[in-house]
Structure 1
Amino acid sequence: MTHPAPEPASEDLLRRMAPQVLGALLRRYGHFDAAEDAVQEALLAAARQWPEEGRPRNPRGWLIRVASRRLTDQLRSEAARRRREETAAALTPRDEFVAPPPGEGRAPAEEDTLTLLLLCCSADLPAAGRIALTLRAVGGLTTAEIARALLVPEATMAQRISRAKRRIRTSASPFGSPADPADPADPADPADGEQEREQARERAARPADVLHVLYLIFNEGYTATSGRELQRADLATEAIRLTRAVHALLPDDGEVAGLLALMLLTDARRAARTGPDGSLIPLAEQDRTRWDRDAIAEGVALVSDALTRTPLGPYQLRAAIAAVHDEAAGDEDTDWAEILALYEVLVRLVPGPVERLGHAVAVAMVHGPRRALDLLAALDEDDHLAGHHRLEAVRAHLLEMAGDRAAARAAYAKAAGLTLSTPERRYLLSRAARIAE
């Protein structure tokens, strides 16, 4: 059944639904690789049929039903041996996968993406494989986007994802359901529901990779690494939603709270980051009256609570830095001394290239650009950041602060040539042109 005025398929809707549908299939069937293929076929079917027939009343249920049929057909067709035939027969769906009435015991739609997230971070996979696979399956990023987000070559990332999938195929049962599909738990039994919740807590008990992946998904949404748009709000919003879900599972984990606070404090500036034409507006020039004050208040409360009662961690420090920016009435009121002090602690905990780059900016604001430029010279030797547009963009900014206009102009132009983001390229070129005037 469809609405009287049916809506066609939406690319954003399908991208948002994809991890939910994959999570639902994995929860019921396992078979990650085959389930992923089945979901892709269902998405293609939706893209073809919905524009003509209209969007179903329950899009998610439609996608799960179609993907389930594709998956079971695939499992049956691969039954070359008797054991495979028996497995496929045991996995035959028992219902039509429409929205279940309350009390049926099936996980709600909003939990399926979280289920997929936790499953992709299985200990059976190496850390690099978990991150890459989760960004692909949950974040919906392409291999090229993942490679840029992780600062590695695209070929390396393709191999990493391929190895992760191969590991899944050969593993005994890394993505099995909590209960055997042939002998499902009684949905009315409270003990079974508690068992599933406990299993979810155990999977979330090693949150480092989960948080890293969520952070990467959010960053890609907040500042897309390529394309015509600066932001992909759907990815940033989904990352916040998932982090809230993890926070609900682990309310006493300071780093989970810190990451959620960091996302809220950063995303609060979204409306002010672009002009009417989509052009990039840097932090110092943003209209702060357009910032989301409710999100800022929530983020400040989260990080303040975490800093006072949990062990200190990198996400809490990043959130504290974001809070200093957000609480300043104007750019000129920013407490850069406090930001520098926080960065000093952060780079001791996480001496990564991105953290050191931020530290250099804070040094420039407190001690002047020349000292910061010396710090950037060391980053030129970093394999991950050398030749990255952000390093050149910061260098250009510091050279401009130091009054070296020719070198700043050249650095802005170099940074513009390295980025694949159209708004960032335009902004960098405009800075170079302004210096030339």
Structure 2
Amino acid sequence: MDPLVKSHDLDTAVSDIIERCGENIILATALGLGKPNRLLNRLYQKVKSQPDKCKLTIYTALSLQVPQAKSDVEQRFLGPFAARHFGEDYLGLDYLDDANQNTLPDNISLHEFYFSSGSQLHHASAQQNYISQNYTHVARDLVAAGVNLVVQQVAKRGDRLSLSCNPDVMLDLIEQMQAANKPLMVVGVVNAALPFLGGDADVSESIFDLLVDDAIPQTLFGIPRESVSLVDHAIGLHASRLVKDGGTLQIGIGALSDAIVNALILRHQNNADYHQALTAIDSVLDSTLVKDIGGISPFKQGLYGATEMVMDGFMHLRNAGILRRLVFDDLALQTLLDQHMICNPLAKSDLQVLIEQGLIAPVITDKDVAWMKKFGLVDINAKIIGANLALAPDSMLTVPATFMEDYWLLC
């Protein structure tokens, strides 16, 4: 990978991209909010203005667009709502405007694997270029398509960057392109309006070839919310009984998702009211099915959330104390947790279990400390001092109140 180039100007960034990628740009950009609209628009217009010199192929999904009125009456109703909900300064995507009018130039093509429902009913080229694709296979298929440019907006905190709500495909794509020994220009565009998310989304500047930061935040697209009907609430109540304490939850976006979130919060925080609501729709609260795979009691272990898109329902579940089950990307460590051989949160006594199971050495080394830091078992500032492991106060590995020292003996 070439040394990181930083730019504060979009036009300069576009010139760098064309110089690096050549006349045939095969671009991948993130689903939904991960798109840096301003840079994409500059690149699109530059290529559009040079039909004999440049070609641009765009691979993406869920290109978001503010609804457009089709008549004066519609505009008078929709205009004030759109300004209030989406913001008057939301910048749309130029390529999407042209695609929706069937006016994409011959030197530019657009391929998406996910549309907003009904958005492409009357657009033949969009339907013909649609890719029926499993999310798991996106990176693999992009490698096969010969992508040479990936562009994504990022959040910034100090010298760290976050891929925010779109960490999955980009990281897989970079890894697979490197494994295939194929060239890929990785471009990040800093957006102060984008939330900084941790975990695998927290990355170093070093993964980028070009980092663009012109200090102008891009307004985020406001997802419309459907009202939750009584039928939705009833479905949510029924579904909430099938969620087992200590389990994993995956929910999408929409009224049914909101209804399930509401029912789970009611179950956890106001269990008597929850039982009363269930009784109103079903006289049998605790059926055999519910006993086998679900529950109607408050959550003791909590849930783990799994999703390809972060949505506000998960944040409500987190704030309600439900989304708190820890899951580790390590089979041996996760097995210990599932078999209740270690606690959640981890306790000082669990250090011996980790040693007995061979996950760390009897005499802890720097390698062991790095492994524990990777999974958040100790604070990022924990370190070996002499023959001791010094723990920061906010470590997940908690020290009992009777243990007043700040160190664990290593030998």
Same fold (TM over 0.5): no
- TM-score, normalising length: structure 2: 0.30
**Structure with more of its chain in strand, by fraction:** 2
Query: Which of structures 1 and 2 has the larger relative contact order (alpha carbons within 8 angstroms, sep 6+)?
Result: 2
TM-score, structure 1 as length reference:
0.28
* Larger helix proportion of the pair: 1
